[in-house]
Amino acid sequence: MSSPTHELQAYLHAHIPLSHAMQVSVLDITADSVLLAAPLAPNINHRETVFGGSASALAILSAWALLHTRLRDAGVASRLVIQRNTMDYELPIVGDFTARSSLADPDAWPQFTRMLSRRGKARMEVRAVLECAGQVVGRLSGEFVALR
């Protein structure tokens, strides 16, 4: 029997090939967050730290995956895209790293799903925190759009 984490990881690798190249793994899924991880080696830059694009990609994947799993679990079929984001790089990432996502405003979820149902389009802000060796190394804030 496949677990939800394995199912999401397989989905990401099949439908977002970059996640496979980055060796992204899904560590945990809850109603409130998705935790993804990636190793340093396939994401390394010329300074032997994580390439900024890889850090941003892991954060975006985590945020996208949270909305994807919540919508799927609610039985809502939609296309989900990122509209805009900001990424703060706080420290160099010198090893394996994780990204944990959360809704910026969990209380906005009912309004988001209502809007998607009524208008066929809804926006939601999701945040992700990057960590390496127990330290926060970056933060993402992204606005996603769901289309019915």
pLDDT digits (tens, 9 = 90+) for 8-23: 999 999 999 999 999 9
Confidence of residue 1 (pLDDT cuts 50, 70, 90): low
State residue 78's pLDDT score.
Answer: 94
- In this prediction, residue 90 carries a pLDDT of 97
Cα distances (Å, whole numbers) of residue 45 to 37, 81, 102, 128, 136: 17, 27, 28, 22, 19
pLDDT at residue 141 is higher than 80 = yes
Q: Is the pLDDT of residue 94 over 70?
A: yes
Report which of 73, 126, 80, 129 is spatially closest to residue 103, judged by C-alpha positions. 126
Rounded to the nearest integer, the mean pLDDT of the chain is 97
- CB-based contact 125:101 (threshold 8 Å): no
Q: What is the spatial distance between Cα 96 and Cα 57, in angstroms, rounded to a whole number? A: 14
Model pLDDT, residue 74:
92
Q: Residues 137-143: what's their mean pLDDT?
A: 98
3-state helix, strand, coil in the chain (%, to 5): 40, 35, 25
Domain ranges, ordered by start, for the chain = 4-147
Q: What is the mean pLDDT of residues 101-108?
A: 98
pLDDT score at 27: 98
For the full predicted model, state whether its pTM sits above 0.85: yes
CATH class of this structure's domain 4-147 = alpha beta
Quick one: what percent of the chain has pLDDT higher than 70? 99
Tokens of 142: 């992204």
pLDDT at residue 2, rounded to an integer: 80
> Rounded mean pLDDT of 98-116?
97
